[in-house]
Amino acid sequence: MSYDAVVLISFGGPERPEDVLPFLANVTRGRNVPPNRLAEVAEHYQHFGGVSPINQQCRDLLAAIRTDFAAHGLDLPVYWGNRNWHPMLADTVAQMHHDGIRSALGFVTSAYGGYSSCRQYLEDIATARSAVGPDAPKIDKLRQYWDHPGFVEPHAAAVAAALATLDADRRESTRLVFTAHSIPVAMAASAGPEGGRYEAQLRETAGLVAERVAPDLPYDLVWQSRSGPPQVPWLEPDVNDHLRALAAEGVTSVVVSPIGFVSDHLEVVWDLDTEAAATAKQLGLDFVRAGTPGTDPRFVSMVRELVTERLNPADTAPRRRLGTLPAWDTCPDGCCLPVRRP
């Protein structure tokens, strides 16, 4: 199949104080999030002037992708649309239709399988196309990329840089802590026909990064950014609880790597740089947070590689992958099923 555009699809975030509550209403619609939790999260955004870093990070990534495409002779326009805030994906699809785009590839700023990180983006695409009408451009989502070198290597380089800032004499009591967004246990269990796909991919990424940087150091995968009702079980342990457990074990230094994220957006700069850093300080732990891929050239090049894979389906060259879990172009039936929320 031929394609005549690429669209960057992301989560979105507020860019003014007055955007915060409407944005959070979009994010949590139908999820029964307690009002006090919404107020708490809103305060996180107001701590940064009501502005999430994510939209500017998307603009930077968009510019880097366009530059990379041009440098490699890939003549495709690149658009950008969000799930929860402007530019909304439906508006972007309408602009694509106006521009004469008939078929596009979608790059999502989430590397993993699971409902919120994959299947819901397919639903977003379908909803946006439905809003535009029967002549809306077709959009095919690019494959998950949790084990692509262009995603793993920038994370590994960031962990290496963070480790280099710690006291080498304390290496034996240093721990790598990888984090990702927690989700309900039931949702995690339904991710993939075999179940647990989201968690399995994250564990593979954590192992790939740790193996490249510090195979001598122990590491853990923990969770952050829980937002659901307290009576609903979510993936644990929370990063703050885990830091307390590590301190009790005699760990002196931690590098926290947010492998669940592609950029340093608000859930990174608040949940890790603010809350987890404060917890570590109270515990007397040396704490360094590793960076995310952002606009690392390896990550930007990965986007082009994923696009060219789909543009040239007859190419028999092996796809660049580091892991062993199955690689799917998109969600087959049962990959990232939604669950009924309580």
Could you list the residues known to form a binding site for Fe(2+), using ranges.
181, 267
Q: How far apart are CA 25 and CA 37, in angstroms?
A: 12
246: three-class secondary structure by DSSP: helix
Both tokens of residue 318?
């092996």
**DSSP code string of 89-100:** HHHHHHHHHHTT
What Å distances lie between residue 149 and 62, 255, 329, 340, CA to CA?
20, 21, 17, 35
CA distance 298 to 234: 33
Give bridge partners of residue 254 from the DSSP assignment: 175, 287
Which residues make up each annotated binding site? 52, 121, 181, 267
**Spatial separation of the C-alpha atoms in residues 261 and 179, rounded to whole Å:** 9
- Starting at the earlier edge strand, list the strands of the sheet with 103-108: 78-82, 5-10, 103-108, 138-141
**Which residues are known binding-site members for Fe-coproporphyrin III?**
52, 121
What distances in angstroms separate CA 195 from CA 82, 236, 265, one per listed residue? 28, 17, 28
CA of residue 33 relative to chain centroid, distance: 21
Nearest to 142, CA basis, from 11, 267, 265, 319: 319
- CA–CA gap between residue 108 and residue 90 (Å, rounded): 15
- Candidates 125, 119, 320, 117; CA nearest to 201 is 117
Virtual torsion, Cα 146, 150, 156, 160, nearest 10 deg: -160
